Amino acid sequence: MKKSLPLPLTGIIPPLVTPLLNNDTLDTEGFERLIEHVISGGVHGVFILGTTGEFAGLGYKTRNELIRLTCKLVSGRVPVLVGITDSAFTESLNMAKTAADNGADAVVLAPPYYYASGQPELLEYLHRIMIQMPLPLFIYNMPVHTKVFFEPETVKISSEIPGIIGLKDSSANLAYLNQVRYLLRDRQNFSFMVGPEEILAEFVIMGGHGGVNGGANMFPRLYVDLYYAALNRDFKKIMVLQQKVIQISTTIYRVGHYGSSYLKGLKCALSVMGICNDFMTEPFRKFKEPERVRIKQFLEEEIHYQEWL
Amino acid sequence: MKKSLPLPLTGIIPPLVTPLLNNDTLDTEGFERLIEHVISGGVHGVFILGTTGEFAGLGYKTRNELIRLTCKLVSGRVPVLVGITDSAFTESLNMAKTAADNGADAVVLAPPYYYASGQPELLEYLHRIMIQMPLPLFIYNMPVHTKVFFEPETVKISSEIPGIIGLKDSSANLAYLNQVRYLLRDRQNFSFMVGPEEILAEFVIMGGHGGVNGGANMFPRLYVDLYYAALNRDFKKIMVLQQKVIQISTTIYRVGHYGSSYLKGLKCALSVMGICNDFMTEPFRKFKEPERVRIKQFLEEEIHYQEWL
Amino acid sequence: MKKSLPLPLTGIIPPLVTPLLNNDTLDTEGFERLIEHVISGGVHGVFILGTTGEFAGLGYKTRNELIRLTCKLVSGRVPVLVGITDSAFTESLNMAKTAADNGADAVVLAPPYYYASGQPELLEYLHRIMIQMPLPLFIYNMPVHTKVFFEPETVKISSEIPGIIGLKDSSANLAYLNQVRYLLRDRQNFSFMVGPEEILAEFVIMGGHGGVNGGANMFPRLYVDLYYAALNRDFKKIMVLQQKVIQISTTIYRVGHYGSSYLKGLKCALSVMGICNDFMTEPFRKFKEPERVRIKQFLEEEIHYQEWL
Amino acid sequence: MKKSLPLPLTGIIPPLVTPLLNNDTLDTEGFERLIEHVISGGVHGVFILGTTGEFAGLGYKTRNELIRLTCKLVSGRVPVLVGITDSAFTESLNMAKTAADNGADAVVLAPPYYYASGQPELLEYLHRIMIQMPLPLFIYNMPVHTKVFFEPETVKISSEIPGIIGLKDSSANLAYLNQVRYLLRDRQNFSFMVGPEEILAEFVIMGGHGGVNGGANMFPRLYVDLYYAALNRDFKKIMVLQQKVIQISTTIYRVGHYGSSYLKGLKCALSVMGICNDFMTEPFRKFKEPERVRIKQFLEEEIHYQEWL
């Protein structure tokens, strides 16, 4: 029988990129390598179909395939979280069902992202979707993409809805996150996970539960080590490791223009490192040669990436 | 054999609401009444699966059903335009194929709306999607929801991509629209349609081709008459009719709070008028009794809606 | 004795640029030429210290000098409107007093623009400042710069405050403006003026009172003629003149990058035309030679500016 | 002779509120009490005319008076920092001169906040204003109010301009701040100060230099103790003190609506505590009785404020 998810969930849970051969075909070999890469790097779970996983650009056939494939490849070694964010209620539930049927452990949901909703509308939506939700759920604050902010009071009330087990925040606003954690200080089992890897250390030092950090696709061990160093408040280690994290963030993620720079850089680096294909979903395209050369230089000459694998 | 779409497309093309019995079931009887209502009101086409049609909240099964049903019910009497906006390239193309297979006349596409794209990214995306597009396409500028603005230069370059036949703009920024029309002054067949009904008159008076106006769900004849009055520059009529349009806009659409006020008001009014059910897609809910009473009062006591049917 | 301002105020009231020799010194000769240029072009008033006049970048000594100089140079030939927008209440009132003391006719006020205010806060602010206001006042909707939108209901309530005589809107959202005008349809004397020159024609055709259009610094006669053509609904003329206005808007105002492109282009063109110096207030700098060459080319080869003077 | 400012500047530097009797009259007695209150609480400097000090709402006469009064009252006991942010270059320099003449130690400058500038424009502006700057300067990142973000690269280049000695960041985006600190890791003397008090602990634990925290107006000792606890990584203390800071932030600052809630709550609390008057600059008004009662209750029943003085 399936073990139940430990609550609160803790540690490093990489938001896996989705390796693709083309718009509708998974790079299954690359994905298998990626899964083994992060699990052998010590991660505490994997999260598919998040922003880093380009969920929004994938067709549903591919999303469902990815859910099945992930559950099969991970095979219970670590918890599997599945992003079910969608502008359509029914499609979110469909994906949740696929996730449950294939043995995933939890789902992650940002607000519907075409029509922006008011906070009361958002709360009622959560109440209604949870009635049919077959798995425990993380709410996902991602205001840049959804145009909707989960206000502290909304998170507080949400936390009382049965089945909602945590918050993943990608606002990078640690003041906000501290306020939310204060308001929920009595809910011992509620998980707080942080998206932006640049603040993982601070967040965990002060009691946050872990990180859903894109860079852990490339260097799972680095983020896991930083997580434990932060947990143990081993500042000597924290300082070295966080520097590395920020070095990555200010090089690999800053080669391109526009908001897609992070996604393109991450996927390109994974390709340079031989892990998986860097084909991207629309409306984006993978880096061309000049950008790829810069990514390679950053990896080799500044990050010295071989030492961090 | 199917008649080809007249270019530029002109007139009033209501963005039809999607009548629903519940989240996954079309109110087919209501929809049939709605279709007959707008066609008998003289509209020049219908547009389904737009913002007003709550496309983003509908599951794909329902979207495909709606496409088939619309084509069947309209049965060639007026052109059918189908919204295929989606965050996933493949799903946009799937819907376009369904539209083509069922005899729709054109499709309408806003930018992918989760990850915001830069203008060059947006242009390349359009180039790529048009290669496989089975129907002529309108680009759809809807910055409030998509976070991406089709800049004038981007529209200009887009207009040269084979298959792109027009622009539907819902920015309400007529200065922008005038700039775009100036830049494309040599493309005689390119259609310019305006979303916000409050500026339909001005737009058509100065040479715009028509309106995709939500209010035409309720009062198709009003908008059609205003269109012709504007085309003929019959100011006596324009003044009376535009007053009515703005009266609707400042009453029916302003009962609720949040951005959903327009959608809720429109659908509620259609229900009060006996045309179709006002069930709404998530994350929204139809108006409760107090708001419904106000909508009814507006319709009866201020708009005197019976006179405008 | 001073004639009172005709209400509603109508026509073209250019928002004058502020010609400068350096950051704290007016180019008084250039300013005199500019004043004579626009008055001889038939404008119905002048507006100083608006956004186009770079009010926010000018020291108060210079602002006060400009008020005095304008009133002296204009010498009652047309009404003088003075921008008194400021983040500090006291400084707004000080400028209003200078304006009144020197014989200006009205003042123009956008919301305080550092701290954004809620609509009730904005309304109370207006009530309080009007108590001490020595001149009639236009409220000025400029959301891009102030972060605050004068919502339709706020304008409606404001219009009842004694001394508030009109609205200048620079949102370019004609749907909004039409809604506001509908809500205030009973206030015959309330003036509606539009900032963006690209929609001047539509606005006046439908009953708007006039334009506060930056391009009228360069070509006052063009905007005045377009105003009258629109007033008379002479569409043959309107079409020719509006094309010219949009041509200016898509050339002169689009040479630079960033939001400052309009200001820099306008001031550069005035310099090329020999009217005044194009020194700009901080944080901006006038165009360098390559941009200036493009402005010159646009003026000569596309706009054929000599024919429009 | 005046001691030079220690670099990097460290510790708690409260952004002092500006106590007022009315719009143009300082509550000098209240201000004296406030100064003594914070100095006796152990703060490492004071900062006047910041966002918390309502600089933008004060007339220049009052701003200059406040500069003089502060320097006189502080009398060299701690460094005095003076906000000189203004939309007008000349007025910023005038205030800097007043600050220098009265013996202030440094000035603090956010970007001009009416016209938003591009990053290259911002950089050139900084270069030009520093030529005439009589005091060392902190750049002040306050994107909510100024609409301009000091991008990491811009801060890096700015840090090389002679006279620029630090960054005060109020974005609450700690990921950003960590990136900036990484890029400037070689500039040992460059000060990083953080505005939002909710992240003071994390920031200082990881090497940040201190906080410019509004709450230190009320409870200087609390923030100073938290600063030292963070400096010493005394987590037992940090946890207790940070809880208190966040309790304040989720009570006192959340009574009102709109963005002004923080300012109104802070000033009201200072009034309840008997420190100074809570008159506010336009466009705001102090809390009325019901809100004041809630502030009092929070102070007494939840914060137990007497124990934290």
Q: What is the pLDDT of residues A268-289, one digit of tens each?
A: 999 999 999 999 999 999 999 9
Whether the CB-CB separation of C96 and C107 falls below 8 Å is answered with yes
pLDDT band of D2, cuts 50, 70, 90: low
Tokens representing D267? Answer: 């000033």
Confidence (pLDDT) at D259: 86
**Which residue carries 């919502």 as its tokens?**
C151
Per-residue pLDDT of D126-159, as tens digits, reads: 999 999 999 999 999 999 999 999 999 999 999 9
Q: What is the mean pLDDT of residues A23-35?
A: 97
Nearest to D166 by CA among D183, D146, D185, D189: D189
Per-residue pLDDT of A169-218, as tens digits, reads: 999 999 999 999 999 999 999 999 999 999 999 999 999 999 999 999 99
Identify the three-state secondary structure at position A15. Answer: strand
Is the confidence at residue D3, as pLDDT, over 70? no
Is the confidence at residue C280, as pLDDT, over 60? yes
D220: exposed, middle or buried (C-beta count within 10 Å: 0-12, 13-18, 19+)? buried
Residue C242 to residues B181, C11, C306, Cα–Cα distance (Å): 12, 16, 17
In angstroms, the CA B198 to CA B189 distance is 25
Residue B257 to residues A151, A272, B215, B303, Cα–Cα distance (Å): 17, 50, 19, 21
**Which residues are CB-contacts of A120 (< 8 A; sequence separation ≥ 6)?**
none
Q: Do C202 and B205 touch (CB under 8 A)?
A: yes
How many Å from the N-terminal Cα to the C-terminal Cα in chain A?
34
Q: Do C259 and D115 touch (CB under 8 A)?
A: yes
**Which residue carries 């991602």 as its tokens?**
A142
Identify the three-state secondary structure at position A272. Answer: helix
**Which residues are CB-contacts of D35 (< 8 A; sequence separation ≥ 6)?**
D16, D46, D70, D73, D74
Q: Which of B282, B284, B286, B291 to mutate to test the interface with A (most CBs of A within 10 A)?
A: B282
Q: What is the mean pLDDT of residues C49-53?
A: 98
Give A14→chain B minimum CA distance, Å.
19
Q: Do A56 and B112 touch (CB under 8 A)?
A: yes
Question: Nearest CB to C249: which of B179, B201, B235?
Answer: B179
Whether the CB-CB separation of A136 and A106 falls below 8 Å is answered with yes
Run of H or E including D107: strand D106-109
- Interface list for chain D against chain A, based on CB atoms closer than 8 Å: 152, 172-176, 178-179, 182-183, 185, 196, 198-199, 201-203, 205-207, 233, 235, 238-239, 242-243, 246-247, 249-250
Nearest to A147 by CA among A127, A176, A118: A118
Residue A220 to residues A12, B95, C225, D218, Cα–Cα distance (Å): 8, 39, 69, 44
B216: exposed, middle or buried (C-beta count within 10 Å: 0-12, 13-18, 19+)? buried
Sign, CA dihedral D242-D245-D249-D251, equals positive
Confidence (pLDDT) at C51: 98
Nearest to A108 by CA among A195, A216, A26, A34: A195
Q: List chain C residues with CB under 8 Å of D257.
A: 118
Whether the CB-CB separation of B161 and B136 falls below 8 Å is answered with no
Whether the CB-CB separation of B115 and B84 falls below 8 Å is answered with no
Confidence (pLDDT) at C1: 39
Q: Which residues pair with D210 in a beta bridge?
A: D11, D193
Whether the CB-CB separation of A215 and A245 falls below 8 Å is answered with yes
Tokens representing C28? Answer: 């008084």
Q: Do D175 and A243 touch (CB under 8 A)?
A: no
Give D232→chain C minimum CA distance, Å.
37
Whether the CB-CB separation of B68 and B62 falls below 8 Å is answered with no
Confidence (pLDDT) at B259: 86
Q: List chain B residues with CB under 8 Å of A50.
A: none
Per-residue pLDDT of B183-206, as tens digits, reads: 999 999 999 999 999 999 999 999
Q: What is the mean pLDDT of residues A75-97?
A: 98
In angstroms, the CA A2 to CA A10 distance is 19
D65-74, D197-206, D255-264, D281-290: least confident range = D255-264
Tokens representing A51? Answer: 């922003």
Average pLDDT for chain D: 97
Whether the CB-CB separation of A221 and A11 falls below 8 Å is answered with no
Q: Do chains D and A touch (3 or more CB pairs under 8 A)?
A: yes
In angstroms, the CA A160 to CA B158 distance is 49
Which chains lie within 8 Å of chain B at 3 or more CB pairs, if any? A, C
Q: List chain C residues with CB under 8 Å of D83.
A: none
Q: In chain B, which stretches have pLDDT less than 50?
A: 1
Per-residue pLDDT of B255-296, as tens digits, reads: 998 889 999 999 999 999 999 999 999 999 999 999 999 999
In angstroms, the CA A129 to CA A186 distance is 25
**Which residues are CB-contacts of B170 (< 8 A; sequence separation ≥ 6)?**
B51, B140, B141, B142, B144, B194, B195, B196, B212
In angstroms, the CA A51 to CA A58 distance is 11
Strand spans (E) along C40-182: 46-48, 80-83, 106-109, 137-141, 164-169
CB pairs under 8 A between B and C: 81
Tokens representing C116? Answer: 């954004």
Q: List chain D residues with CB under 8 Å of A238.
A: 206
Per-residue pLDDT of C189-202, as tens digits, reads: 999 999 999 999 99
Q: Do B112 and A258 touch (CB under 8 A)?
A: no
Whether the CB-CB separation of A111 and A145 falls below 8 Å is answered with no
- Interface list for chain A against chain D, based on CB atoms closer than 8 Å: 152, 172-176, 178-179, 182-183, 185, 196, 198-199, 201-203, 205-207, 233, 235, 238-239, 242-243, 246-247, 249-250
Q: Which residues pair with D108 in a beta bridge?
A: D83, D138
CB pairs under 8 A between A and B: 145
Give B85→chain A minimum CA distance, Å.
10
Per-residue pLDDT of C201-222, as tens digits, reads: 999 999 999 999 999 999 999 9
Length of chain A: 309
For D168, list phi and psi in degrees, rounded to 5.
-105, 120
For A192, list phi and psi in degrees, rounded to 5.
-115, 120
User: How far is C-alpha A98 from the chain's CA centre?
Assistant: 19
CB pairs under 8 A between C and D: 143
**Which residues are CB-contacts of B150 (< 8 A; sequence separation ≥ 6)?**
B111, B122, B139, B141, B158, B167
Q: Say what the pTM is.
A: 0.96
Give D91→chain C minimum CA distance, Å.
6
In angstroms, the CA D309 to CA D304 distance is 10
pLDDT band of A1, cuts 50, 70, 90: very low
- Interface list for chain B against chain C, based on CB atoms closer than 8 Å: 152, 172-176, 178-179, 182-183, 185, 196-199, 201-203, 205-207, 233, 235, 238-239, 242-243, 246-247, 249-250
In angstroms, the CA A98 to CA A93 distance is 9
Q: Angle, nearest 10°, between helix axes D60-74 and D28-40?
A: 40
Q: CA-nearest residue of chain A to B114?
A: A145
Q: Which of A20, A22, A90 to mutate to test the interface with B (most CBs of B within 10 A)?
A: A90
Q: Do B117 and A260 touch (CB under 8 A)?
A: yes
Give DSSP secondary structure letters for B214-276. GGGGT-HHHHHHHHHHHHTT-HHHHHHHHHHHHHHHTTGGGSSSSTTHHHHHHHHHHHHTTSS
Residue D124 to residues A200, D95, D128, D131, D139, Cα–Cα distance (Å): 35, 20, 6, 11, 14
Per-residue pLDDT of C80-90, as tens digits, reads: 999 999 999 99
Q: CA-nearest residue of chain B to A262?
A: B115
Residue A38 to residues A54, A99, A130, A268, Cα–Cα distance (Å): 18, 20, 31, 17
Question: Nearest CB to A88: which of B58, B146, B285?
Answer: B58
Amino acid symbol at B43: V
Confidence (pLDDT) at D21: 98
In angstroms, the CA B66 to CA B27 distance is 10
In angstroms, the CA A39 to CA A79 distance is 11
Question: Nearest CB to B250: which of C179, C202, C243?
Answer: C179
Strand spans (E) along chain C: 11-12, 20-22, 25-26, 46-48, 80-83, 106-109, 137-141, 164-169, 191-194, 210-211
Length of chain B: 309
Q: Do chains A and C touch (3 or more CB pairs under 8 A)?
A: no
Q: Which residues pair with B164 in a beta bridge?
A: B137
Identify the three-state secondary structure at position D137. Answer: strand
Confidence (pLDDT) at B216: 98
Residue C66 to residues C49, C71, C73, C102, Cα–Cα distance (Å): 8, 8, 10, 11
A131: exposed, middle or buried (C-beta count within 10 Å: 0-12, 13-18, 19+)? exposed
Confidence (pLDDT) at D1: 39
Sign, CA dihedral B234-B239-B244-B250, equals positive
Diameter over CA atoms, chain B: 52
Share of chain C above pLDDT 70, in %: 99
Q: Which of A55, A87, A92 to mutate to test the interface with B (most CBs of B within 10 A)?
A: A87
Confidence (pLDDT) at B215: 98
User: How far is C-alpha D194 from the chain's CA centre?
Assistant: 9
Q: What is the mean pLDDT of residues D10-36?
A: 98
